[in-house]
Structure 1
Amino acid sequence: MDKRKIILTILGVVLIIGAIFGAKLIIDSKEQPKPTPKKTVKTVFVDTAQNSTISINIPANGNLVAKRRVELYAEVQGVFRYSSHSFRSGQAYKRGQTLLKIDAAEYAASVQSAKSDLYNQITAIMPDLRMDYPEIFPKWQEYLNNFDVNSSVSPLPEPSNDRERYFINGRGVNTAYFNIKNLEQRLVKYHITAPYDGVLTEALVTEGTLIRNGQKLGEFIDPDVYELQVSIAKQYADLLKVDENVSLTTNTGERTYTGKVSRINAKIDQATQTVNVFIEVKDGTLKEGMYMQANLDAKQEENAIEIDRSLVNDRNEIFTVNDSILQSIEVNPVYFSDKKAVIKGVPDGAVILSRQVSGAYNGMRVNIAESDNTETGNNTPQNSESISQ
């Protein structure tokens, strides 16, 4: 009985192993059909190259700043007493009108006192001049007769010789005179006038305010002439010239203005590797602080074409289409902007891609589309594909 079970077990194992090998032979003997590769032919859009003179425009932006502006600071202390108009932001002043007049009564009295001392000093030396220097006495007598303590002190008479010079200096007349001129210069600082026709853009004090030495009072600008400061990459700085016209547009693009390059900084910013360019523009509708977009005509490049920047690869090559086959040619890039590239070295009449093709390579077969209706600036269009078995 035990032998029978052993025999049956062995037979079962043999049958199982035989079944496995048989199944494997059946599977291996079955022929697999070879898959037919699908050939994808992409449809591309092309243009015909035509070399011409391309204007290289460098875009830049910035904010307008008045070319003539004055920050008003107090150099003296006193109470703000008077202004020709209400000292408020936006108030216009004509040249010579009073912006601020600070109370100078106390200081003016000290100036008057110094003038009186000078008058007394000259009066004290008159008897000596009559006795010892009768030839110069008349001109000093005339100066004394015309002396007015309420007006600015007139220049002292010129000495006729060294004797007169030593005598006058020895009496301290010159020292007193120059001290008064110093006081008069400081007295002028109590009265601030408009240096030109302009507008008060900032007012930090009002009438009756106690003004302290060094205090900022406001800002005054000429609203007729503005400057736009823009930063240009250093490699394009040598393409710009002073007095070149520049097209300026507002950030909304609604209005266009014409300016000119007034200054180009000779120093490169080490942090950004850019050069500051200043563009002067005149227009009554402009306001300080307006954001403007500038297009600088840097250079006229002859025998060049302008294409989408994405069509130039990192090896400075573009693809042409020759008998429905893509072929790469080496080009010479002259200028790159955010979206466009100006290149040279493309023969006239060459059929080049007008849109980027993903996975493009030399020898790739393509179909040429009949027309390109894509909007300008679309760098990654969807290419249609045809599949042949």
Structure 2
Amino acid sequence: MKKRQWMILGITLGVLVLAFGMSFFFAGQKEAPEMKKPPVVKKYVKTVPVSYEDIQTHVMAFGRVQTAQSLDLLSEVSGRMFEGQVRLKEGQNFRKGTLLFYIDDKEATLTLKSQKSNFLRDIAAILPDMKIDHSGNFEAWEAYFASIDINKDLPELPEAKSEKEKTFMATKGIYSTFYTIKSAEERLKKYRYYAPFDGSISEVNMESGAFINPGTKIGTIIKTGSHELKVSVETKDIPWVQLGTPVEIYSEETQQSWAGEVIRMSDFVNQNTQSVDVFISIEPGKQKIYDGQFIQSAIPARKVENGMIIPRSALYNSNEVFVVEDTLLKVKQVFVHRTMDENVIISGLEVGEDLVVEPLVSAHNNMIVFKLEQKDIDRETGAPDSTNPPVGGNLGSN
């Protein structure tokens, strides 16, 4: 029995050895599959040759139009107020010298006439003494007495020819009464308000017929054809703005444009906008402009000599760019003259170098890349030419 077990074990091992041997034999007869190498992926980048020129930069700023001259209509006297030659309504236009409003001055007028009548009486009382004691100036005072009209302003007093005459007039109260009347005449003029310029009424606070006291605000007027634009300029751009610079002003909404000039700049930072306020005068033209209109301005800044404009996205670490040298990416530092919203102005590279002008993803120094030639770009769509597609992908970000 023991011998028989050993025979069965030996036959089993022999069959297994024979099976493994035959499998290796037939496997060796089969041809090995061909190993394909992965395709070489070429990375393409968009480049432009470095070139320099003088660049006129601009500071773009938005703001609202405001009148350059605005006045509040305030009463200096009390009484019943009435509208003048134009209606006291918002938007009402007027010419310079137009009576805008007046305050009932009947009582003040009568009081002034009474004062002038008393003054005439005082002059008449001193004429006999003048003829005797100051005959040398009697005719002048007699002519002055005849020229006084209580409905008109008092003429100027004759000049005293001696100290004695001046003392005589002072003791009679002539000078005191004269200047009291002149003061009343000036006050009477404040009962009527005439327009100091051509303009329009922008605000009305009191209606015609209302009783007003001194200091009451009746309304607000603005000057026609005198506007300025208040814009907020970032502090980094302020050194580029200069007083007296001509400015192009335009409205994209109405497709209108005007000429202007930088007339003043604030010496402090606006706490609300964290920028500096710049004021631009607007020259009146054929195209009408409105107070409160929101428009844009292009302020010519200083000219950059020998600079190059590149996309802001092509700049790394504030002063580094990529250039292509013999299919290798190279990191180089540049001098940034000015940073704008979408572009920057740089210098510091050799003329003719191939500068990468698109943002790169996962790029590094000495990385192998290829320039994306113009023929590889579809001229109509800006996409790679389908008839000659480059192998691999573009490093530029979407």
* TM-score by shorter chain over 0.5: yes
Q: Which amino acid aligns with 1:346?
A: L
Q: Which amino acid aligns with 1:265?
A: M
- In the alignment, what sits opposite 1:194? 195
- In the alignment, what sits opposite 1:265? 265
- In the alignment, what sits opposite 1:309? 312
Aligned-partner Cα distance in 2 for 1:159–1:361: 99
Q: Which amino acid aligns with 1:267?
A: D
Aligned-partner Cα distance in 2 for 1:330–1:55: 23
- Describe the SS at the equivalent of 1:164: helix
- Provide Cα deviations, 1:18-71, integer angstroms capped at 9, x if missing partner: xxxxxxxxxxxxxxxxxx999875432222222111111111121111223222
Q: Which structure 1 residue ranges, 5 or more long, are not aligned?
A: 1-35, 376-383
- In the alignment, what sits opposite 1:341? 344
Aligned match of 2:289 in 286, 290, 300? Answer: 286
- In the alignment, what sits opposite 2:217? 216
- Provide Cα deviations, 1:295-341, integer angstroms capped at 9, x if missing partner: 10011111001112222223511111122221121111111112211
- Provide Cα deviations, 1:89-136, integer angstroms capped at 9, x if missing partner: 111111111111111111222222222222222222222212211111
Task: Describe the shift of the 1:111–1:41 C-alpha distance in structure 2 as closer, same or farther (beyond 3 A).
Answer: farther
Aligned-partner Cα distance in 2 for 1:169–1:122: 12
- Describe the SS at the equivalent of 2:148: coil
Aligned-partner Cα distance in 1 for 2:215–2:183: 19
Q: Does 1:102 align with 2:89?
A: no
Aligned-partner Cα distance in 1 for 2:65–2:279: 10
Contact 2:314-2:358 at 8 Å conserved across structures: yes
Q: Does 1:62 align with 2:56?
A: no
Aligned-partner Cα distance in 2 for 1:280–1:219: 21
Q: Does 1:51 align with 2:62?
A: no
TM-score (normalised: structure 1): 0.80
TM-score (normalised: structure 2): 0.79
Aligned-partner Cα distance in 1 for 2:167–2:357: 92
Task: Name whichever of 96-105 and 223-232 sits farther off.
Answer: 223-232
Task: Name whichever of 114-123 and 283-292 sits farther off.
Answer: 114-123
Aligned match of 2:353 in 350, 354, 362? Answer: 350
Aligned-partner Cα distance in 2 for 1:299–1:211: 55
Aligned-partner Cα distance in 1 for 2:73–2:96: 15
Task: Describe the shift of the 1:350–1:133 C-alpha distance in structure 2 as closer, same or farther (beyond 3 A).
Answer: same
Q: How does 1:93-172 map to 2 (within 5 A)?
A: 93-172=94-173
Aligned-partner Cα distance in 1 for 2:100–2:46: 67
Aligned-partner Cα distance in 2 for 1:67–1:264: 12
What is the aligned-residue identity percentage?
27
Q: Does 1:369 align with 2:353?
A: no
Question: May I ask how many residue pairs the two structures share in their alignment?
Answer: 343
Contact 1:223-1:287 at 8 Å conserved across structures: no
- In the alignment, what sits opposite 1:182? 183
Residue 373 of structure 1, CA deviation? 7.6
Residue 294 of structure 1, CA deviation? 0.8
Contact 1:73-1:218 at 8 Å conserved across structures: yes
Aligned-partner Cα distance in 1 for 2:155–2:50: 80
Q: Which structure 2 residue ranges, 5 or more long, are not aligned?
A: 1-36, 381-390
Contact 1:234-1:268 at 8 Å conserved across structures: no
Aligned-partner Cα distance in 2 for 1:295–1:75: 44
- In the alignment, what sits opposite 2:242? 241
Instruction: Give the aligned CA root-mean-square deviation in angstroms.
Output: 2.6
Q: Which amino acid aligns with 1:327?
A: K
Contact 2:266-2:278 at 8 Å conserved across structures: no
Task: Name whichever of 229-238 and 166-175 sits farther off.
Answer: 229-238
Q: Which amino acid aligns with 2:223?
A: D
Task: Describe the shift of the 1:181–1:97 C-alpha distance in structure 2 as closer, same or farther (beyond 3 A).
Answer: same
Determine which structure has more spread, i.e. the larger CA radius of gyration.
2
Task: Describe the shift of the 1:115–1:360 C-alpha distance in structure 2 as closer, same or farther (beyond 3 A).
Answer: farther
Contact 2:270-2:277 at 8 Å conserved across structures: no
Residue 354 of structure 1, CA deviation? 1.6
- Describe the SS at the equivalent of 2:268: strand
Contact 1:82-1:207 at 8 Å conserved across structures: yes
Q: Which has the higher strand share?
A: 1
Residue 385 of structure 1, CA deviation? 5.3
Contact 1:264-1:275 at 8 Å conserved across structures: no
Aligned-partner Cα distance in 2 for 1:286–1:101: 31
Aligned-partner Cα distance in 2 for 1:230–1:126: 69
